[in-house]
């Protein structure tokens, strides 16, 4: 989707109509090599060409690599989220430890004062000194004071014991959190390595194509999306889909529209570039609703609704592993950040296999 001179996305209503029209087009305008056929060779364009390999097989491999990288990205983002939570948890524990240590120091100071007072009394227990007192009035007053002193002593001992238990518990919790944090860091590093390897492989494949072949590759991707959208529309789904968004859903859609034309960048959450779940998370944040960072967590944690009940602002989760997410904008269309080398765009909601739909603003 191109952007006009003001930098804003073109009309989504017009784009939706175009998407639906394209979705009903059954015959592609150009023919491409089918799997197994000899692949195209460079014409007048630049690049290395595909040689004997079909362009369709290149498309399938590139798409597969990007899909796997997207799935691994979810694992990376989830590990990063957990690392952030664990760091906050450790900080909270550290603050609790400081507070408990200050309390422990105060209690020990009081216990020391009590011990020094007893030493000054010759080490004789308060009860024994009471019985040696000849004045009945002083004796009765002393009994009351002794009971209060005994209660205070027991209370102090109990608080010391409880504070020590709390300190031990905090130390154990901190140790476990550090272990989990180390595992999270290792998982994140492994996920990032896997992602970068797949992205590099896909980019190498595309870079070897001649310029005209890269355009034809984009055409193959669009043909496949149009075909899937046409099959989806043939089910009569448009007659059943809701058209009204909630106030928050409308704000989320408005934010997504304003991002049209911005580049997909792995791991990006705006404001100039996005990955798929970064876009949906920021759109709903702009609408005042915090949602999880990854498409898999969005699918797992947000309220689910039926596909035929979805309305603008709902999030469509794609593929069996929930590795891609888009925002439904009405009229059978969605907005999403597709993959590296592409821009945030409007596409048919049925252009990829739908796993399900979630509604961030359930009420």
Measuring CA to CA, how many Å separate 4 from each of 61, 68, 180, 254, 301? 34, 33, 48, 16, 37
Q: Does position 19 have pLDDT exceeding 80, yes or no?
A: no
pLDDT one-digit tens code per residue, 137-173: 554 444 455 555 556 666 667 777 777 777 777 777 7
- Is residue 334 within 8 A of residue 349, CB to CB? The reply is yes
pLDDT score for 27: 31
pLDDT one-digit tens code per residue, 196-243: 888 788 878 777 877 888 888 888 888 889 999 999 999 998 888 866
Measuring CA to CA, how many Å separate 230 from each of 111, 204, 223, 235? 81, 32, 10, 9
Query: By C-alpha distance, which of 23, 46, 43 is closest to 231?
Result: 23
Report DSSP state, residue 239.
Answer: G
pLDDT one-digit tens code per residue, 328-354: 999 999 999 998 889 999 999 999 999
The beta-carbon contacts of 241-247 under 8 Å, at least 24 apart in sequence, are 241/308, 241/310, 241/311, 241/330, 241/332, 242/309, 242/310, 242/311, 242/312, 243/311, 243/312, 243/330, 244/311, 244/312, 245/311, 245/312, 245/313, 245/330, 246/311, 246/313, 246/361
Number of H helices, E strands in the chain: 8, 6
What percent of the chain is modeled with pLDDT above 90? 31
Tell me the catalytic residues: 276, 324, 336
Query: By C-alpha distance, which of 252, 346, 363, 311 is closest to 21?
Result: 346
pLDDT score for 10: 43
Burial of 254 (C-beta count, 10 Å sphere; 0-12/13-18/19+): middle
pLDDT one-digit tens code per residue, 65-95: 887 777 777 777 777 777 777 777 777 777 7
Q: Does position 6 have pLDDT exceeding 50, yes or no?
A: no
Provide the token pair at 275: 């990955």
pLDDT score for 117: 67
Residue 126 CA, chain-centre distance (Å), reads 64
- Mean pLDDT (the chain) is 75
Provide the token pair at 288: 């005042």
């Amino acid at each position: 989707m191109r952007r006009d001179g003001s930098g804003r996305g073109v009309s989504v209503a017009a784009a939706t109509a175009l998407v639906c029209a394209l979705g009903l087009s059954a015959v592609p305008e150009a023919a491409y090599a089918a799997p197994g056929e000899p692949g195209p060779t460079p014409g007048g364009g630049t690049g290395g060409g595909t040689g004997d390999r079909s362009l369709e097989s290149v498309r399938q491999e590139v798409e597969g690599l990007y899909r796997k990288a997207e799935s691994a990205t979810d694992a990376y983002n989830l590990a990063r989220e957990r690392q952030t939570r664990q760091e906050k948890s450790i900080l909270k524990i550290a603050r609790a430890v400081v507070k408990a240590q200050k309390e422990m120091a105060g209690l020990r100071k009081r216990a020391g004062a009590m011990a020094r007072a007893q030493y000054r009394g010759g080490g004789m227990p308060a009860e024994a000194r009471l019985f040696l007192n000849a004045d009945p009035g002083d004796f009765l007053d002393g009994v009351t004071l002794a009971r209060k002193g005994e209660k205070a002593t027991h209370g102090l001992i109990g608080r010391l014991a409880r504070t020590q238990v709390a300190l031990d518990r905090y130390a154990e919790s901190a140790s476990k959190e550090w272990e989990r944090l180390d595992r999270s860091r290792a998982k994140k590093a492994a996920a990032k390595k896997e992602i970068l390897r797949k992205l590099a492989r896909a980019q190498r494949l595309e870079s070897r194509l001649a310029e005209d072949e890269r355009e034809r590759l984009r055409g193959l991707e669009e043909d496949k999306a149009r075909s899937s959208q046409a099959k989806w529309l043939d089910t009569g789904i448009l007659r059943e889909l809701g058209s009204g968004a909630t106030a928050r859903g409308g704000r989320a859609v408005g934010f997504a529209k304003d991002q049209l034309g911005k580049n997909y960048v792995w791991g990006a959450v705006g404001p100039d570039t996005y990955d798929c779940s970064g876009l949906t998370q920021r759109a709903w944040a702009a609408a005042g609703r915090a949602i999880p960072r990854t498409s898999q967590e969005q699918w797992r944690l947000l309220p689910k609704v039926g596909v035929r009940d979805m309305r603008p602002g709902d999030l469509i989760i794609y593929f069996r592993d929930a590795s891609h997410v888009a925002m439904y904008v009405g009229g059978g269309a969605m907005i999403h950040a597709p993959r590296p080398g592409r821009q945030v765009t409007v596409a048919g909601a049925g252009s990829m296999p739908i796993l399900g739909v979630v509604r961030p603003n359930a009420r």
